[in-house]
Amino acid sequence: MKLYTVAVVGATGLVGSTMVKVLEERKFPVGKLIPLASARSAGKEVKFNGTSVAVRELKAEEFSGVDIALFSAGASISTEFAPKAVEQKAVVIDNSSAFRMEEQVPLVVPEVNPSDIFKHHGIIANPNCSTIQMVVALKPLHDVFRIKRVVVSTYQSVTGAGQKGVDQLEDEMTKRAVRVKKFPHAIAYNVLPHIDVFLENGYTKEEQKMMLETVKIMGENIPVTATTVRVPVIGGHSEAVNVEFEKPCTAEEVRSILQNAPGIIVQDDPRNNVYPLAINAYGKNEVFVGRIRKDYSVPSGINLWIVSDNVRKGAATNAVQIAEVLIAGH
């Protein structure tokens, strides 16, 4: 088996450290791991395959000899360093928003559009976490019934805002002084209809990401409208998704299709209180779907409750899966 030199940019962050864990868990053929981070994190160590690996300061020269570079350090870092990594022959899989909507950059969820991986010119983009879990469930249904319209409301955990979001919630819950105010209002015992910045059209950037990214990933102009909401949950995003189809369908047909779709676990026995929960999805790599039921307000509609770990399938795991498809294809 060929072994690969893999760099992880942002290796000490919430997503970057999870990327290192997922590489190990999935037995990705890493010959050499190069964890990269800011100067203040250089010298720290990450655990990988039973050994400690020193974190290096992020510099362009560190990409010499790198085969695959997993980036999760923010859009500004990706914009600066991803092209430098590509210049040195690395394939970049980027978790930021920097390149997602660039025409020449594939935006990939392996269960949905794996063939797009091989259209890359050095950079492959990882979609937004809330988009990923939704399209994993939508794709097998679209293939059969053809989606006419999607309405989604999200319930997103504080890990979506990084460690500072977790710190604010924990400080507020324990009534300690808030170390960093990541959110504009209290998040403990509260719900914030505000993720990312507001745009002139009244939507937030997070909502726009879901709408635009879904179209690019699915490869079709599927109308999506979104309301994204932050909730006081540590890990795991939940979504209430209403789908209107062109063709008639039943809840039973939808349930059967999803039960046989890759990357999905159906948990749908509400009479026995069985439905996806963020607390159960946390730490797992799959997308969980339940509350599957007809929408009687339209001729052919279905309601779904979709839950997934946003740090794993919504970021780290999806990136590693892209790398797996990439090396299998080569």
pLDDT at position 48: 98
User: Considering the chain, what percentage of its residues have pLDDT values greater than 90?
Assistant: 98
Domains of the chain as residue ranges with CATH: 4-127+315-329 (3.40.50.720), 130-309 (3.30.360.10)
Looking at residue 1, its pLDDT comes to 85
Catalytic residue among 120, 142, 185, 237: 237
Q: pLDDT tens, 57-106?
A: 999 999 999 999 999 999 999 999 999 999 999 999 999 999 999 999 99
* H, E, C per residue of 108-162: CCCCCCHHHHHHCCCEEECCCHHHHHHHHHHHHHHHHHCEEEEEEEEEECHHHHC
What does the pLDDT average to over 20-28? 98
Measured between alpha carbons, how far apart are the two ends of the chain, in Å? Answer: 12
What pLDDT score does 273 carry?
98
Q: Is 129 a catalytic residue?
A: yes
Does the structure show a pLDDT above 80 at 328?
A: yes
| CA 324 – CA 124 distance, rounded (Å) | 13
CB distance 123 to 100 below 8 Å: no
Measured at the alpha carbon of residue 212, what is the angle toward residues 284 and 225, in degrees to the nearest 5? 85
**Mean pLDDT for all residues in the chain:** 97
* Mean pLDDT, range 156-169, rounded to an integer: 96
161 neighbors 196 (Cβ within 8 angstroms): no
DSSP helix, strand, coil percent of the chain (3-state; round to 5): 35, 25, 40
Q: What is the model's pLDDT at position 221?
A: 96
Q: How confident is the model at residue 116 (pLDDT cuts 50, 70, 90)?
A: very high
Q: Which of 55, 14, 36, 18 is nearest to 167 (CA)?
A: 14
Residues 110 and 89: their CA atoms lie apart, in Å, by 23
Query: Which pLDDT value is given to residue 100?
Result: 98
- The predicted-structure confidence for 243-284, as pLDDT tens digits, reads as follows 999 999 999 999 999 999 999 999 999 999 999 999 999 999
Taking the CA atoms of 321, 124, 82 and 199 in sequence, report the sign of the dihedral they define: negative
Is the model's pLDDT at 330 over the cut of 80?
no
Six-digit token string for 183:
């959110």
Catalytic annotation on 249?
Answer: no
Mark out the alpha helices in 26-128 (DSSP H runs).
Answer: 75-87
Between CA 312 and CA 323, with CA 317 as vertex, the angle to 5 degrees is 160
Q: Three-state SS for 8? A: strand
Per-residue pLDDT tens for 285-317? Answer: 999 999 999 999 999 999 999 999 999 999 999
Catalytically annotated residue among 120, 129, 142, 249: 129
